[in-house]
């Protein structure tokens, strides 16, 4: 059984067709990286999986259960899928602890003490214990993004979606966030990751998918995609990345 299964996914914004038939399946504990130029549909694909964007055609199943039927409870689905955004999107009027415990308390119905105990354990595990009472404005970008990941993890998701989580960070803050993601991968978390960090993708991914103009043009193990891409478009994209000094 696949942890995530996407079939024939189409999505348009007005006349612009952003996703033009995506087929993708993730096995449990698999880490898949999506690479491709800006506007190739990576973010939209992740947002569709989390049902933040209604899809036009196709089907998506998580843990064998279709989530794109009409009668599905979107809130129920989202509780089992964690998503982390490029811009962190922490709640600025809440402390770190409140950010992390809000959804477990209100969406899962956990009591305050249970939710806080669990949040403290997660914050401790990722080196954020001393930040629990701080407000997001006080934290560095790297710390904010780590809190955002912890906030998603607090829902005990069976699948994590990461949308260019290091793109808004200063270069010296990228490492701490990538380190956390490596740890999640080592712990067996199933993840679909849109990223511009090619060396990270090569390191962590079991499989790399190259998105181009709304389709998965090429996919395979990272060694193959990064050293011997079959498609000219993939070669061209990686060439530009190399020239920009990002690989």
Partner 1 sequence: MFFVLVVVVVTQAPGWPEFKAYFFDWDKYKESFPEIARAFWLNVKIFCIAEAIILVTALGLAILRSLPGPVFFPVRALAIVYTDLFRGIPTILVILMLGQGMPALGLSWVPDDQVFWAVVALVLVYTAYVSEVYRAGIESVHPSQDAAARSLGLTHGQSLRYVVVPQAVRRVVPPLLNDFIGLQKDTALVSVLGVVEALRQTQINEAAAFNGTYYLVAATLFVAVTIPLARLTDWLVARDRRRRLAGAMA
Q: Which residues bind partner 1 (CB under 8 A)?
A: 50, 52, 75-76, 78-79, 81-83, 85, 87, 89-93, 102-103, 106-108, 135, 137-138, 151-152, 155
Which one, 57 or 108, has the nearer CB to partner 1? 108
Query: Running DSSP on this structure, what letter comes out for residue 163?
Result: E
In the bound complex, what is the minimum distance in angstroms from residue 89's beta carbon to partner 1?
A: 4
Which residues have a Cβ under 8 Å from the Cβ of 224 and sit 6 or more positions away? Answer: none
Q: Choose between 154 and 208: whose C-beta lies nearer to partner 1.
A: 154
- Smallest gap from Cβ 121 to partner 1, in A, equals 18
Give the nearer residue to partner 1 in terms of CB position, either 90 or 177.
90
Closest distance between partner 1 and the C-beta of residue 94, in Å?
8
In 3D space, the residue among 41, 189, 76 whose CA is nearest the CA of residue 122 turns out to be 189
Structure tokens at 192: 């679909």
Cβ nearer to partner 1, comparing 15 with 93: 93
CA-to-CA dists, residue 227 to 16, 30, 234, 235, angstroms: 33, 21, 11, 9
Closest CA to 238 of 102, 247, 63, 51: 247
Q: Which is nearer to partner 1, 137 or 243 (CB)?
A: 137
Report the interhelical angle of 112-125 vs 96-106 (nearest 10°): 130
Mind giving me the DSSP string for 199-222? HHHHHH-SEEEEEETTEEEEEE-H
Residue 96 C-beta: closest distance to partner 1, Å: 13
| Complex with partner 1: residue 74 or 175, whichever CB lies closer | 74
From the CB of 52, what's the least distance to partner 1, in Å?
6
DSSP 105-139: HHTS---HHHHHHHHHHHHHHTT-GGGTTS-GGGS
At closest approach, how far in Å is the CB of 47 from partner 1?
Answer: 8
Question: Measured between alpha carbons, how far is 191 from 184 in angstroms, rounded to an integer?
Answer: 9
């Amino acid at each position: 059984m696949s942890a995530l299964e996407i079939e024939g996914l189409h999505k348009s914004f007005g006349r612009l067709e952003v996703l033009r038939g995506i087929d993708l399946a993730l096995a449990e504990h698999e880490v898949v990286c999506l690479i491709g130029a800006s506007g190739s549909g990576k973010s939209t694909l992740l947002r569709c999986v989390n049902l933040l964007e209604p899809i036009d055609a196709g089907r998506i199943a998580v843990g064998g259960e279709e989530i794109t039927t009409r009668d599905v409870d979107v809130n129920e689905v989202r509780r089992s899928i964690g998503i982390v955004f490029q811009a962190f999107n922490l709640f600025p009027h809440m402390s770190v602890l409140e950010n992390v415990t809000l959804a477990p308390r209100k969406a899962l119905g956990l009591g305050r003490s249970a939710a806080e105990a669990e949040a403290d354990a997660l914050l401790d595990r990722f080196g954020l214990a001393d930040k629990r009472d701080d407000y997001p404005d006080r934290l560095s970008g790297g710390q904010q993004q780590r809190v955002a990941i912890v906030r998603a993890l607090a829902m005990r998701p069976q699948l994590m979606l990461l949308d260019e989580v290091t793109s808004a960070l200063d270069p010296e803050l990228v490492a701490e966030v990538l380190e956390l993601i490596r740890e999640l991968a080592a712990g067996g978390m199933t993840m679909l990751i849109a990223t511009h960090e090619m060396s990270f993708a090569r390191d962590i991914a079991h499989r790399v998918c190259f998105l181009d103009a709304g389709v998965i043009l090429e996919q395979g193990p990272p060694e193959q995609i990064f050293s011997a891409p079959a498609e000219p478009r993939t070669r061209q994209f990686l060439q530009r990345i190399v020239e920009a000094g990002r690989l």
